[in-house]
Homo-oligomer: A and B are copies of this chain.
Amino acid sequence: MTRATEAENPHSLVLRLPAESPLTLESGASLAPLQIAYQTYGTLNAEKSNAVLICHALTGDQHVASDNPVTGKPGWWISMVGPGKPVDTNRFFVICSNVIGGCMGSTGPASRKADDTIWGTEFPVITLADMVRAQARLIDHLGIETLLAVVGGSMGGMQVLSWASLFPSRVFSAMPIATAAKHSAQNIAFHEVGRQAVMADPEWQRGRYHAAGTKPVKGLSVARMAAHITYLSEGALQRKFGRNLQNRDAPTFSFDADFQVESYLRHQGFTFVERFDANSYLYLTRAMDYFDLAADHGGSLARAFWGTKTRFCVVSFTSDWLFPTADSRSIVKALNACGAPVSFVEIESDKGHDAFLLEEPNLFATTRGFLDAAASARGVT
């Protein structure tokens, strides 16, 4: 059997897994060849006991704490991860990998198949468990048996829950933030709108736009605009934009972006399509829709964590209506039923779902405290 090889690319470390050891997906399909693009920060200690895995959200990537090579912007969680930050890279070895199905170097619908053509919509539909099993290959490769912590928000939080459920002995502590153990009807509905927006774009070309030399930028942009509204609270939109006009004193009586909120949304759509693959958007939203940890365990969420020794810290935000506190409470309730050590923090914020990515002192303090306690309990100095 060919061994996994590690390749450098200009921007990320890339683990290439041999075609002889494909990933068996929940759908029954096999995925090969498989590569996982990732970043690390800090140093793995001799005991290999200080590794923290950060799981990214739907449109995130492995560039959690260093400049993003595509956008040129700082890492998406630069306020959380770094030297002296709540996830302190002076102390912890931080790993962040692009999920499979993504478009930043890990195998996804924009990757090439064994025959060198692009997967497109022939890429198999993947699940959260598939993403996590692929990540586990990376953790194996890094020689780490048990992660000190797995941390992530939104779709990242779904990965955290999947890690704790699939590999309980490999997760010393887990911090699911602004997430749910199952995707709600409303969230599926919003995702379906986004997918239909992409698919309605004739340049999507039934998923074969790479071959056609086109890109469904308009459809993807609409999808992003709709999604972006769900990431903010009504209060945050009111506070940031209200009914303020954009660079004008009076409405133009036209379909121009008269209002700042319109201009902002158009900008969000416009910049997103520069950095994200439309098919990836379809696959990752689908994976979230399929996520239902209880259903995978005979309808009992507690059974997903039965016998767990992992320490949990569950976090939600008061104004998050995409993954409301009730979703977090369901997770806490199930963990309590298992007798798992779990703390729960609902953070007061008017920033909506996006709060987990923003400057939230209470989130930083909670994360720092939780990781510190986990490190102490595990004897990490």
Contacts and interface: CB of A to CB of B under 8 A. Distances in A.
B182 A196 contact: no
A380 interface: no
A247 interface: no
5 contacts: A26-B253, A189-B262, A193-B225, A193-B265, A255-B286
Majority secondary structure, A binding face: helix
Interface of A: 26-27, 29, 121, 124-125, 182-186, 188-190, 192-193, 195-197, 199-202, 218-219, 221-222, 225-226, 229, 232, 234, 237-238, 240-243, 251, 253-255, 257-259, 261-262, 265-266, 269, 282, 286, 289-290, 292, 295, 321, 324
B265 A189 contact: yes
Given A251-B290, A255-B286, A200 B221 contact: yes
A196 B184 contact: no
A257 B193 CA distance: 12
A270 B189 CA distance: 15
A238 B221 CA distance: 28
Nearest to A262: B192
- Chain B CB within 10 A, most for which of A185, A199, A242, A243: A185
B262 A186 contact: no
A188 B254 contact: no
- Chain B CB within 10 A, most for which of A240, A255, A290: A255
Contact of A295 (B197, B243, B262, B321): B243
A222 B234 contact: no
Given A200-B222, A201-B200, A226-B193, A184 B234 contact: yes
Given A197-B222, A222-B222, 12 more contacts: A29-B253, A125-B253, A189-B225, A189-B229, A190-B229, A192-B225, A192-B259, A192-B265, A196-B269, A200-B200, A200-B218, A234-B324
A199 B321 CA distance: 28
Contacts of A289: 258-259
Contact of A185 (B196, B251, B261, B292): B261
A359 to B, nearest CB: 21
